[in-house]
């Protein structure tokens, strides 16, 4: 795998910082009562989302669960329209009707965040089927949390993808907890990627078991997902697992009784953004000032997004009743 160019790496750094600042601001807005419903932050998992989405071509597809802000921003959705969705405005990516869990952008082949655990997995299979049916050279990246691997949808969707050789990369973002229940308390297989073996044969046909990757290392994620995408494009489905950690609660208001402060702190030190920043500093002499500038610009972009959202119109009665059906 060729090492990406400096501009590309800096852009990944920009995306990761943007996501972090965006999420921190969302937390504040939630506490101020400006964001309602559930709010699941992507803080800690930025390297996985950015590295994975960066491996896609423009006409490839991505779909995820409800922890979707980072994926949306990585896929290039305008932070203004994403923030407007958080605030329930009609300028939001889903017109204020989806909220935090239901961001999407058809034009960018971002098929959405989905609030039902595992509910999007069969949709991913269907989107891949459409690509295969129409003989398009397109791959679907389907992200899910570790919790989704225990639900029936996971089994049915991965099995069907193996039977039909669908071009899907199934990517488990293993952030160690399904809500408050740790992986070893919820799953028979501690190494979740081993579940691929259930859909593969001794002769190598069926689902490919991909690697478990360091999900805090954006370069490692990008390499592994790039290889997985190539496999999916040529041969069919593959399951990979990214080991990551969410530094905040499952959603806002999570008392986090299931883990210690020390555990969380240990991951703060090895956090994906600090780590990548150090990689860039070691690799490119004098890059600090550029990185600082990117940091400032990210902060500003988020503030602009908040301002845009706050100045946007609320949805109307017409919005309430529109798009239930195709007219």
Partner 1 sequence: MADRPITIREALSAALREEMQRDERVFIMGEEVGVWGGTYAVTRGFLDEFGAKRVRDTPIAEMVIAGSAVGAAMAGLRPVAELMTINFAFLALDAIVNHMAKVRYMFNGQFTVPMVIRTTTGGGKQLGATHSHAPEVLFAHFPGMYVAVPGTAYDAKGMLKASIRDDNPVLFVEHSTMLQRRSPVPDDPDFVLPIGKSDIKREGDDVTIVTFGKGLEWSMAAAEQLEKDGIEAEIVDLRWLRPLDLEPVFESFKKTNRCVVVEESLPMFSVGAEVAAQLQNEMFDYMDAPVKRVAAMDNPLPYSREIELMALPDAQKIVAAVKEVV
* Binding footprint of partner 1 on the chain (CB under 8 A): 61, 94-98, 102, 104-106, 111-112, 114, 116, 119, 121-131, 133-134, 152-153, 156-157, 159-160, 163-164, 319, 322-326
**Minimum distance of partner 1 from residue 146's CB (angstroms):** 19
Which lies closer to partner 1 via its Cβ, residue 111 or residue 245? 111
Q: How far is the CB of 258 from partner 1 (least distance, A)?
A: 26
CB contact at 8 A, 37 and 114:
no
| Residue placing its CB nearer to partner 1 in the complex, 20 or 61 | 61
CB closer to partner 1, 107 vs 203: 107
Smallest gap from Cβ 175 to partner 1, in A, equals: 23
Q: How far is the CB of 86 from partner 1 (least distance, A)?
A: 15
Residue 251, exposed/middle/buried by CB under 10 A (0-12, 13-18, 19+)? middle
Residue with tokens 């099995």: 159
Looking at the chain, how many residues does it have?
Answer: 327
Nearer to partner 1 among residue 22 and residue 114 (C-beta): 114
Q: Which is nearer to partner 1, 13 or 153 (CB)?
A: 153
| Nearest-angstrom CA–CA distance, 80 and 83 | 5
Q: How far is the CB of 119 from partner 1 (least distance, A)?
A: 6
For partner 1, the closer CB: 129 or 189: 129
Cβ-proximal residues to 49 (8 Å cutoff; 6+ apart), any chain: 19, 42, 70, 71, 74, 143, 173
Supply angle C-alpha 218, 222, 224, rounded to 5: 120
State in angstroms the smallest separation of the CB of 99 from partner 1.
9
Strands in 208-214's sheet, in edge-to-edge order, are 110-113, 61-64, 140-145, 168-174, 238-243, 208-214
Least Cβ distance, residue 264 to partner 1 (angstroms): 33
Nearer to partner 1, 121 or 273 (CB): 121
Q: Contact at 8 Å (CB) between 175 and 246?
A: yes
Give how far Cα 239 sits from Cα of 33, 52, 128, 168, Å.
Answer: 39, 13, 15, 9
Q: Least distance to partner 1 from the beta carbon of 325, Å?
A: 5
Which residue number, 73 or 160, has a Cβ lying nearer to partner 1? 160
């Amino acid at each position: 795998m060729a090492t990406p160019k400096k501009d590309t790496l800096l852009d990944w750094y920009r995306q990761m910082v943007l996501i972090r600042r965006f999420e921190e601001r969302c937390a504040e807005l939630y506490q101020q009562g400006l964001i309602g419903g559930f709010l699941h932050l992507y803080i800690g998992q930025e390297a996985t989302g950015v590295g994975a989405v960066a491996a896609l071509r423009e006409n490839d597809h991505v779909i995820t669960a409800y922890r979707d802000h980072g994926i949306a921003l990585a896929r290039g959705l305008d932070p203004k329209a994403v923030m407007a969705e958080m605030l329930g405005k009609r300028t939001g990516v889903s017109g204020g009707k989806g909220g935090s869990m239901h961001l999407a952008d058809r034009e960018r082949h971002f098929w959405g965040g989905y609030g039902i655990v595992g509910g999007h997995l069969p949709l991913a299979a269907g989107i891949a089927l459409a690509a295969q049916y129409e003989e398009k050279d397109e791959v679907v990246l389907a992200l899910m949390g570790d919790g989704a691997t225990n639900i029936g949808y996971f089994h049915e969707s991965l099995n069907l993808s193996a039977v039909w050789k669908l071009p899907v990369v199934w990517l488990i973002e293993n952030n160690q907890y399904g809500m408050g229940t740790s992986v070893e308390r919820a799953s028979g297989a501690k190494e979740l990627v081993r579940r691929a073996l259930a859909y593969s044969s001794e002769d190598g046909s069926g689902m490919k078991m991909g690697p478990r990757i360091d999900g805090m290392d954006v370069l490692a994620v990008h390499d592994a997902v790039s290889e997985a995408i190539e496999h999916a494009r040529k041969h069919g489905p593959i399951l990979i697992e990214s080991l990551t950690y969410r530094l905040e609660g499952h959603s806002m208001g999570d008392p986090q009784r299931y883990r210690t402060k020390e555990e969380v702190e240990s991951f703060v030190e090895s956090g994906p953004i600090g780590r990548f920043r150090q990689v860039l500093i070691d690799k490119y002499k004098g890059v600090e000032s550029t990185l600082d500038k990117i940091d400032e610009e990210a902060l500003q972009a988020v503030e602009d997004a908040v301002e845009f959202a706050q100045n946007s119109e609320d949805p109307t009665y017409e919005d309430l009743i529109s798009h239930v059906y195709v007219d």
